[in-house]
Amino acid sequence: MALFSFLILTSLCMAGREALSISDCAANARRPEYTDITVVCGTSAINLAIQICPVVYTGYNSSLLILNSIRDNVDCRGTLDTSVTPPVARFIFPIREGKACGSNFLTTSAPGTGIFSDFSNIQTVNVSGVVRSFDPTTGMITYNAELKYYYSCAYPLEYLINNTQVDVSSSSIALKDNNGSFISTLSMALYQDMKYTTPLVLPPLGVELRTNIYVQVVASNLTSQYFVLLDRCYASVTLQPSNSTIFNLFVSCSIDQLTTMLENGDSQKARFYFPAFRFIEQQNETISTYYLHCITRLCERSTCSTFKQCNRRRRSVETTVVQQSITEPSLLTVAIKTKTESAIQSKEEVLSGGQSDGKGTSVGLGIAVAVLVVIGVAAILMAAYFYRKLKRLS
């Protein structure tokens, strides 16, 4: 009972220091409404703003609003902000399970659709909770209504990093905090060394065939609860891979024989590299240009190993043509350019057994045989002519 009285006294004292009166609120003093709370689903923290004048009108103050029933943690208390109109009580807490001021974390899974249809398990994490009023009234009855402000943020954990351009050393995507997305933390960059210290800058005539291109996808300013796992990376001939020839560098555990995975699903960065190749259909172009796309998953640290297993539904690594348009927005842009006029065989030519060169060799051989036949026929006719002439003279 003494502890309860102490909590009431403490709350009343705090309310006195931060008290707003009905007259301070003026026209904003009214009954609470459903729209009194604003929720910003950030990439590393959630920000709640509750209009305080309806709270005052009901008989409370900002110090009497309690987040998820936690009263003894100063980091979980609301702060009064009178610099905005109308004034609000703000709650800011990190998106980190166990340190999110009592918020509930619920991760759900569903089969992938659209661009994620290759994957049978697409996850979304929902972070939710409630801010309640604490009534300091003692006795058997009260005249103060109970206030409850619910919040919820749903974050998808699978993203498409699209159309990566080789001459961009690094890039970040516009913040989308209002939609509850982690995509703003993701960026993809290309490097020319295995230590990932020197960005790859595109030469005017493109990179040489078979030059190793080092790719890194990294999450910055992201809550430490999630790691980066690349589910699929592929190249397409056109900027948007709709109805375009594509080549899979890897899909899940099915990896092209010339692609090397260095790190994936073990931290907040993923790394791999592959030798520069060209598409055979661009053989008449001086510079072969294609676009790199990566489908990137954010997985909880404890569950990343599950997604790294090789029993998930996936496509085989092969060159295919996409028939269905990808309607999701392009998030990051990078194009790879290679020299096509080179004595070195392209990656596609190596994999296809050099069929294009075989056609040229066959044509040359046919011409040579035809010339030899003509020369042989001419020699026979001349020999017959001289034989008859010598026979007549004899």
Q: What is the pTM of this model?
A: 0.65
The candidate with the shortest Cα–Cα distance to 106, out of 97, 114, 115, 119, is 97
Helices assigned H by DSSP within 109-163: none
Question: For the domain that residue 147 is a member of, what is the CATH number?
Answer: 2.60.40.3210
Distance CA 300, CA 297 (A): 10
Q: Is residue 133 domain-resident?
A: yes
**Stretch 8-31: mean pLDDT:** 64
Host domain of residue 141: 2-154
Q: Is residue 370 part of a domain?
A: no
185 and 294 in a single domain? The answer is yes
Q: Residue 155 and residue 97: Cα distance in Å, rounded?
A: 14
Burial class (CB in 10 A: 0-12, 13-18, 19+), 176: middle
Span 196-217, average pLDDT = 90
Residue 379 forms part of a structural domain: no
Q: Which tens digits make up the pLDDT trace of 168-194?
A: 223 333 333 335 788 888 999 999 999
pLDDT at 262 over 90: yes
- Which carries the bigger pLDDT value, residue 232 or residue 357? 232
Helix-strand-coil split of the chain, %, nearest 5 = 25, 35, 40
Phi, psi angle pair for 295, to nearest 5°: -90, 120
CA angle 52, 54, 58 (to 5 degrees): 115
Same domain, 142 and 162: no
Query: Of 124, 154, 184, which closes a domain?
Result: 154
In this predicted structure, the answer to whether residue 38 has a pLDDT above a threshold of 80 is yes
Q: What is the pLDDT of residue 223?
A: 87
Shared-domain flag, residues 139 and 246? no
Map residue 98 onto helix, strand or coil. Answer: coil
Q: Are residues 180 and 196 in the same domain?
A: yes
Residue 26's CB is within 10 A of a number of other CB atoms, namely 9
The count of domains in the chain is 2
Residue type, 192: Q
Same domain for 150 and 162, yes or no, is no
Tell me the C-alpha distance between 161 and 183, whole Å.
Answer: 9
Report the C-alpha gap between 187 and 174 in whole angstroms. Answer: 11
Averaged over 308-325, what is the pLDDT?
Answer: 47
Instruction: Tell me: do 286 and 339 sit in the same domain.
Output: yes
Beta bridge pairs of residue 37: 50
Give kind and range of the element (H or E) at residue 12.
helix 2-17
Sign for the CA dihedral angle at 194, 200, 202, 203 comes to: negative
Task: Provide the 3-class DSSP secondary structure of residue 46.
Answer: strand
Question: Tokens representing 324?
Answer: 């269905």
Reported as a single tens digit per residue, the pLDDT across 73-132 is 999 999 999 999 999 999 999 998 888 999 999 999 888 888 888 888 889 999 999 999
